Amino acid sequence: MFGSMNQTMKIVADENIPFVREIFGPLGRVTCCPGRNMHCGTVADADALLVRSVTKVDRKLLENSPVRFVGTATIGTDHIDQEYLKERRIAFADAAGSNANSVAEYVVAAVLVLAQKYNWNLEEKILGIIGVGNIGSRLEKKAQALSMRVLPNDPPLQRQTKDSRYVSLDQLLEMADVITCHVPLTNTGRDATYHLFDEKTLARMKGRVALINTSRGPVVDNGALGNALAAGAIGPVVLDVWENEPNIDTQLLKRVAIGTPHIAGYSLDGKVNGTAMLYDAICRFLNIPNRLLVDQLMPAPQVPVIELNTTDGSDQQLLAQGLGRIYKIMHDDLNFREINNKPPDERGQCFDFLRRNYPVRREVFNTRAILKPHKASLAEKLAILGFPIES
């Protein structure tokens, strides 16, 4: 363990973990640095290491270090060599589920923008969700607000539950109008997801189907996707995650309908949830009480209330209007496309800069909705998305 609870404990943390000094400071000395720049020297005298997805945590990083606790403030763990941690008896914690609502809200915002752009009636569209874990299950519920039929695909969960509502990937590719990926990145095994969407899979997709990826970049073969888009063989694409981040394919960015720099889960609420989950885990590891009061750290919402005139349009249009006042996804897209104006050798730095300096984005539960006049169907849909409704 770390000995007595005083300032002798050293914690090395990714500088992009919000409130990490305020939250972990009482446990010891917190040193923050860029996640991509961490190396064995960074953790040479560290007792605990807190990272995000850009830091590869493995033998090369931790060999000969005194680190006894590793936490990642992310839901994905493909950057962590968990077998090595077990071998070294290093405690590990992730933040599974911490930003699930943030990602689900991102996907809803993207679907509503696509619906506006391509004049879709979402009541006539089928949403295929690949991966129905923390994020996919939340999205499935939110899809009720969009009046979309949902086709869930999750082979491991289907085998576990024997639930007949799950469809095969073949069925989903054949029937869905919008496909969204929420799977971990795995390279081997029965359910490997590396290049799940390769040239063959993309060719099997129904007509002008839309594809959204907020999981991990290599789940979609970016080269094959670029070719499919160039050939007009696929519908609109939304990418938040990319192969070879931060040095992404900028030609592919030019072709997608919406592109963002791996920020779908970057709501402040989601990121702080991740920090709080790691703090709880290290408290349990140290066998000390958790006295953290997260609400005291959070700023007031920038948009505490929205008013919607229910005579201004359909429920779908008003949902887009309401969510758009809180999260302007196309602002993220516009800012990201500036990367193409940078010299090639600066684009990776620009990608990281956009993530590091991402503006505060709050989730919809922070904003009350007022409907004038009240409309029951819209109120129900807004409530499903998470808005408190004020009558």
Residue type, 24: F
Q: Are 310 and 372 in contact (CB under 8 A)?
A: yes
Q: Are 178 and 209 in contact (CB under 8 A)?
A: yes
Residue type, 235: G
The one catalytic residue among 105, 140, 243, 245: 245
The one catalytic residue among 216, 255, 361, 362: 216
Q: Does 245 qualify as catalytic in the annotation?
A: yes
Write down the H helix ranges in 119-232: 134-142, 155-161, 169-175, 199-204, 222-230
Q: Are 151 and 167 in contact (CB under 8 A)?
A: yes
Distances (CA, A) of 386 to 42, 116, 152, 168, 179: 41, 21, 21, 30, 23
Q: Does 36 qualify as catalytic in the annotation?
A: no
Q: Structure tokens of 127?
A: 């949403």
Distances (CA, A) of 368 to 24, 145, 154, 210: 32, 17, 34, 31
The length of the chain in residues reads: 391
How far is Cα 125 from Cα 147, in angstroms, rounded to an integer? 9
Strand partners, 70: 49, 92
Q: Does 87 qualify as catalytic in the annotation?
A: no
Strand partners, 259: 239
How far is Cα 54 from Cα 109, in angstroms, rounded to an integer? 25
The one catalytic residue among 138, 255, 262, 355: 262
- Alpha carbons within 13 angstroms on the beta-carbon side of residue 119 total 0
Residue 185 CA from chain centroid, whole number: 13
Between β-strands 305-309 and 258-259, what pairing exists: parallel, antiparallel or unpaired? Answer: unpaired
Distances (CA, A) of 272 to 139, 282, 290, 295: 21, 15, 15, 10
Residues involved in catalysis: 216, 245, 262
